[in-house]
Amino acid sequence: MSRLPEWVGMLLRFASFANIVWGLTLSLVAEGLLRWAQIEVPTTLFPWRMLGMLAIIFGLAYYFISFNPVKGILVLALGTLIKLVETITVVAEWISGLITYQMVLYFAAKDFLWLGPLISILYLVFREWQSPADAMAVNPDKPLSQTLSQFTTNRGTDLNTLSYQQPVLLIFLRHFGCAFCREALQEIADRRSSIEAQGVKIVLIHMGSHKQGEFMLQKNRFTQAEHVSDPDCILYSLFRLRRARFSQILGIWSGIRGLKAGILNGYGLGQLIGDGFRMPGAFLVYRGETLKSYKYQFVSDRPDYVALATWQV
């Protein structure tokens, strides 16, 4: 079931109407438009009419996907990209003095004014498209021991059993393509001996498959590590690790930290594996109960894993 606000569909239908109007203008009265814009009418109006037909096609597409925008995410992305390219081209031509301000006004109404709404819709649709369907109906209020017993590590032991053997530091990672995930793996690997010296076992929770988890952990010097594959984010949801808001992922501070981690520190970006909006977290669990927890305010946060693993009976 879609959780998109109702205005998304309404705005897409309005965009459909506007695109069809602009398309008909270019297709049927291109010569009059060019004369109004004080641009010399070329011998053939075929390119202008084809541009009009393209606008009409996208107008019809916007109407049909307005009833299920998630399934039309590629149409939205392509339509937004076309409007962005047209806007940049028109501005460049205007600066060069090749088109008049009247034509700039026309394309501003056709493309530029729609960039903000379409980018906002694309963000919301992409966020919904990324949401794991199986995690939508999760009830996080069940007993923790019951929750832990449902999940087993790559070695076949369930988390509840592990928590009765010794304290377990459950570290919920971002998706493997995120620079902050790779940075966190490096930090945990560097502090692994200090954490385990306190009698605490590290178990990593990720959104990839077991095979993908093994590859990423070995790549980051996490040999013989225990981990849990949770591609549907069920365990994430049961620990109340919710999906991030825009500011938590793309805020100013997260953006600066992302550039530092991804470019300056060389962690880079990779394939989006899992829910790109899911927040990470860390929990110290012992005998089926949570002793300590750390929930991120921003995806760029850096918890003190050693302090989190410090405990007393």
Query: Of 99, 130, 161, which residue constitutes the final position of a domain?
Result: 130
Domain identity same for 46 and 153: no
Flag whether 176 is in a domain.
yes
Domain identity same for 21 and 55: yes
Q: Distance from first CA to last CA of the chain, Å, rounded?
A: 46
Domain identity same for 174 and 296: yes
Nearest to 181 by CA among 245, 249, 242: 249
Query: Of 85, 104, 130, which residue constitutes the final position of a domain?
Result: 130
Query: Of 104, 130, 156, which residue constitutes the final position of a domain?
Result: 130
Flag whether 96 is in a domain.
yes
Flag whether 60 is in a domain.
yes
Domain identity same for 231 and 123: no
Domain identity same for 168 and 240: yes
How much of the chain is helix, strand and coil, in % rounded to 5? 55, 10, 35
Domain identity same for 142 and 277: yes
**Computed from CA positions of residues 241, 247, 251, 255, in that sequence, does the dihedral angle turn out positive or negative?**
positive
One-letter amino acid for residue 266 of the chain: G
pLDDT at res. 272: 81
Domain identity same for 112 and 157: no
Nearest to 73 by CA among 64, 81, 65: 65
Distance between alpha carbon 161 and the CA centroid of its chain, in Å? 34
Domain identity same for 108 and 149: no
Residue 296 belongs to what domain range? 137-309
Domain count, the chain: 2
- 257: CATH: 3.40.30.10
Flag whether 88 is in a domain.
yes
Flag whether 120 is in a domain.
yes
Domain identity same for 121 and 143: no
H/E element holding 255? helix 252-259
d(CA 306, CA 312): 14
Within a 13 Å sphere around the CA of 22, how many CA atoms are in the beta-carbon half? 23
The pTM for the full model equals: 0.70
Flag whether 87 is in a domain.
yes
Domain identity same for 69 and 91: yes
Flag whether 1 is in a domain.
no
Q: DSSP per residue over 164-221, as a string? A: HHS-EEEEE---TT-HHHHHHHHHHHHHHHHHHTTT-EEEEEESS-HHHHHHHHHHTT
Per-residue tens of pLDDT for the chain, all 313 residues: 457 888 999 999 999 999 999 899 888 988 898 888 888 888 888 988 998 999 999 999 999 999 999 889 999 999 999 999 989 998 998 888 888 888 888 888 888 999 999 999 998 898 888 776 554 545 556 677 787 888 899 988 899 999 999 999 999 999 888 888 888 888 898 899 999 999 999 999 999 888 888 888 888 777 778 999 998 888 998 888 888 888 888 778 778 888 878 787 777 777 788 888 888 999 999 998 889 999 888 888 888 999 999 876 5
Nearest to 39 by CA among 108, 5, 90, 113: 90
pLDDT at res. 224: 78
pLDDT at res. 1: 44
Nearest to 61 by CA among 79, 48, 87, 86: 79
d(CA 262, CA 97): 40
Domain identity same for 38 and 153: no
In sequence order, the 6+-apart residues with CB closer than 8 A to the CB of 95 are none
The token pair at 190 is 């560097």
Domain identity same for 262 and 219: yes
Per-residue HEC secondary structure of 257-285 comes to HHHHHHHHCCCCCCCCCCCCCECCEEEEE
